[in-house]
Structure 1
Amino acid sequence: MARLFVTGGHGMVGSTLRSHPGIEAWEVLAPARAELDLCDAAALRDWLARHRPDAVVHAAGVVGGIQANMAEPVRFLAENARIGLNLLTACREIGIRMLLNLSSSCVYPRDLGRGLSEEQILTGALEPTNEGYALAKIMTMRLVDYACREDRSLQWHTLIPCNLYGPHDKFDPRQSHLVPAIIHKIHRARIEGHETVEIWGDGSARREFMYAGDLAEAILRALADPSALPPVMNVGPGVDHTINDYYNVVAEVIGWQGRFIHDLGKPVGMRRKLLSVTRQAEWGWAPRTGLREGIAATYAWYLEHQP
């Protein structure tokens, strides 16, 4: 059985991938940080030399929403850049031929809005609220590209997912992205009897979200035939919704019937960030989980696992 090394194997994407039925084709190696610190270059190289995985999915990283990115830009840039550099350097030295690097839609310039196509990366200024994280992701993506230029036999590719949500997500508002933060806020409002919930900005900014289980399916398909995958490819539904829409769907799923108030003085990030899925369509794949279905499954997991 081929060995698959999943970095970040205990985060949302890694945990979802490890629980997907299709993963049974692989012997999965997913050490926790206490066992393997990706910031320790020597330890990482030694681990790879001992275990010799046949393929790597790079899903590890320091992640968070607007609040976390604005509060700790040094950490988001330095740690993510160090992790990417250490991993790719070690994989190259050990001779790992197959690697999927998971990037982020924040690598796109801030003012493009919609139809974000892969060739537009590095053509404009980044969104300031998460620039550090984006720079680290761009660096790792370019290293994947450079390595393939120098060694044409490598099957190294980068997937750029849109925003994700699902079971195993972070729901603490200090660390979470939009959808899990909304789930947590509205759940607390329901059980504590609050009649209002605050939304940052006017709620008209648009975001594209995909259920993490759909990304796991795309990863497994890519691993099964990496030669069919473009070097860089967006992954997402190709449709977006307003922030108000996400609040309304979550409220409907949870059963909260209060009202929303908008704080127009709070930052909202980019007004719109919708990926082009042309390459994904040519690859012959699309996510299958609808928004309400995905939020309902995520909320069920939240109820079971959150205090």
Structure 2
Amino acid sequence: MSKQRILLTGSGGMVGRNLLEHPSMFAHDVLTPDSQQLDLRDYTAVLTYLQNHRPDIVIHCAGKVGGIQANMREPVGFLLENLDMGRNIVWASRQAGVKRLINLGSSCMYPRNHNDPLPEELVLKGELEPTNEGYALAKIITARLCDYIMREDPSFQYKTLIPCNLYGRHDKFDPAHSHLIPAIIHKVYQAREKGEKSVEIWGDGTARREFMYAGDLADAMVHAIDQFDSLPSMMNVGLGYDYTINEYYQATAEVMGYAGEFTHNLEKPVGMTRKLVSIERQQSWGWQAKNDLLSGIEKSYQFYVNEYLR
């Protein structure tokens, strides 16, 4: 792997921090401006930064992210902030002459209520899930902009990775902002510490979700840097299998040694009944995730206890 100058947006977020922890990243010159040093919502500032630093490749991981509660509470912010950041970094990269870019999409870009694995061709082929529609629209537009730029000038290779749901080290565990697995870790830990005999699950727990450990996505991204030319223009990154919400609670309880029961609140929203990405392109490209569910939850739980709570 040759040394490259890489601009990484979102270096302080979960994906960015897991990528920076990957051993192979130490071989590169990685630029990691925070939002104070580079406001991605300011197009002029982004263009000036790129012209001054001339990265070989841009990796766009920055974004306003959150779970179902946050998306339902702040749809305007999830649409506008992600749209501004995505449009600015992609178009400024084009204007600055940066030839390679990896854009991080999201599986919420896919239509709702598909029971079969979701292939990349399904983007814009159906109604989006209403609970995170704003975020999804911003991600779709950014991915399309990458595609349009390549169509107009193939010397610019701007590619999009679409990961399944993620969890792991450096996650958000506050229930007001967290996704499913960190929220479960927090709820089960608090219940265990307080001696509570039950934990509430939203819905009946039968909805299925595919969650991948963030360290595995970081490994896929490192592989993408190294094998950029063979990377498809749009590619899912996932496990190829999923679990029910109930099974995620049960696995977390097993890791923590929590012996209480689970109750179901059928009045709460649950989102899509299933969201599983197709990994056919990923498999053909030659990469697969390494962590299973229990090992990923164990690593996340250790981070929660040893670093997040301290």
TM-score interval w.r.t. the shorter chain? over 0.9
1:112-159 CA deviation, whole Å, 9 max, x = no partner? Answer: 222100001111000000000000000000000000001111221100
Name the SS of the counterpart of 2:137 in structure 1. Answer: helix
- Asked whether the 8 Å contact 1:155–1:226 carries over to 2, the reply is no
What is the aligned-residue identity percentage?
A: 56
Q: Does 1:78 align with 2:84?
A: no
Counterparts of 2:69 and 2:116 in 1: how far apart (Å)?
Answer: 24
1:1-307 matched pairs, under 5 angstroms: 1-307=3-309
| Alpha-carbon shift at residue 278 of structure 1 (Å) | 0.5
- Asked whether the 8 Å contact 2:94–2:156 carries over to 1, the reply is no
Unaligned 5+ segments in structure 1 are none
Q: Alignment RMSD, CA only?
A: 0.8
Counterparts of 2:195 and 2:5 in 1: how far apart (Å)?
Answer: 50
- Asked whether the 8 Å contact 2:104–2:162 carries over to 1, the reply is yes
Counterparts of 1:153 and 1:36 in 2: how far apart (Å)?
Answer: 27
- Asked whether the 8 Å contact 1:163–1:208 carries over to 2, the reply is yes
Counterparts of 1:9 and 1:151 in 2: how far apart (Å)?
Answer: 29
- Asked whether the 8 Å contact 2:169–2:303 carries over to 1, the reply is yes
Name the SS of the counterpart of 1:158 in structure 2. Answer: strand
Write the letter of the residue equivalent to 2:209: R
| Alpha-carbon shift at residue 276 of structure 1 (Å) | 0.6
| Alpha-carbon shift at residue 302 of structure 1 (Å) | 0.7
Write the letter of the residue equivalent to 2:218: A
Name the SS of the counterpart of 2:6 in structure 1. Answer: strand
Runs of 4+, deviation exceeding 6 Å: none
Counterparts of 2:14 and 2:115 in 1: how far apart (Å)?
Answer: 27
| Alpha-carbon shift at residue 192 of structure 1 (Å) | 1.2
Write the letter of the residue equivalent to 2:94: R
Counterparts of 2:62 and 2:132 in 1: how far apart (Å)?
Answer: 17
| Alpha-carbon shift at residue 50 of structure 1 (Å) | 1.1
Unaligned 5+ segments in structure 2 are none
Normalising by structure 2, report the TM-score: 0.98
1:27-60 CA deviation, whole Å, 9 max, x = no partner? Answer: 1111111111111111111111111111111100
Normalising by structure 1, report the TM-score: 0.99
- Asked whether the 8 Å contact 2:115–2:274 carries over to 1, the reply is yes
Write the letter of the residue equivalent to 1:202: D
1:136-188 CA deviation, whole Å, 9 max, x = no partner? Answer: 00000000000000111122110000000000000000000000000011111
Counterparts of 1:200 and 1:2 in 2: how far apart (Å)?
Answer: 45
1:44-96 CA deviation, whole Å, 9 max, x = no partner? Answer: 11111111111111100000000000001000001100001111111001011
Counterparts of 1:9 and 1:59 in 2: how far apart (Å)?
Answer: 7
Counterparts of 1:114 and 1:29 in 2: how far apart (Å)?
Answer: 39
Counterparts of 2:275 and 2:241 in 1: how far apart (Å)?
Answer: 10
| Alpha-carbon shift at residue 111 of structure 1 (Å) | 2.1
Name the SS of the counterpart of 2:290 in structure 1. Answer: coil
- Asked whether the 8 Å contact 1:107–1:121 carries over to 2, the reply is yes
